[in-house]
Amino acid sequence: MNRNRSLGITVAILVLVIAVDQLTKARVGDIFSLYQVRPVIRGFLNLTYITNTGAAFGIFAGSGGVVRAWGLCGVAVAALVALVFVWRQLWRRHGLYPVAIGMIAGGAAGNLVDRVRFGAVVDFLDFYAGRYHWPAFNVADSAITVGVFLFILAGFREK
């Protein structure tokens, strides 16, 4: 794969992730009230409109507002810059790297948009089984998770 094609794939995935993430969050905001819950699959999945002022799983949610907000935005920007450097080093080594980096960057950017616009990230996918409950998340979080998995897989599959 040539450099332009690899970059095109990465950017297309990044833009797609941001678009789907922001569209789903906007739709949830349009049809739900904050903290409203709608069962999708009873005993397994609810759509629940919440906001997360912290990092993943609500980490740092209780810390100081302005410092936390700017700190988390700074971490996201630093991660995006780091991903540019990682892409430049790995784009030709395995075809999964451009896909993985596009997903991770798109997810980071999608959540960064929320932090800048609202001071918090919109989450709405709420999975649980009995009393075991996974913290609510969104499309951006899913893209980051899948992207990290693909990145690791690419590392194992390199020749």
Catalytic residue among 21, 114, 126, 141: 141
Query: Could you tell me if 80 and 105 are in contact, meaning their C-beta atoms sit under 8 angstroms apart?
Result: yes
Exposure class string for 29-62: b at 16+ Cβ within 10 A, else e: eeebeeeeeeeeeeeebbbbbbbbbebeeeebee
- The residues, any chain, with a CB within 8 Å of residue 75's CB and separated by 6 or more, are 55
Active site residue 141: yes
d(CA 26, CA 39) in angstroms, rounded, equals 19
Catalytic residue among 21, 114, 123, 126: 123
Instruction: Look at the chain and count its residues.
Output: 159
> Side chain identity at 120, as an amino acid letter?
A
Q: What positions carry a catalytic annotation?
A: 123, 141
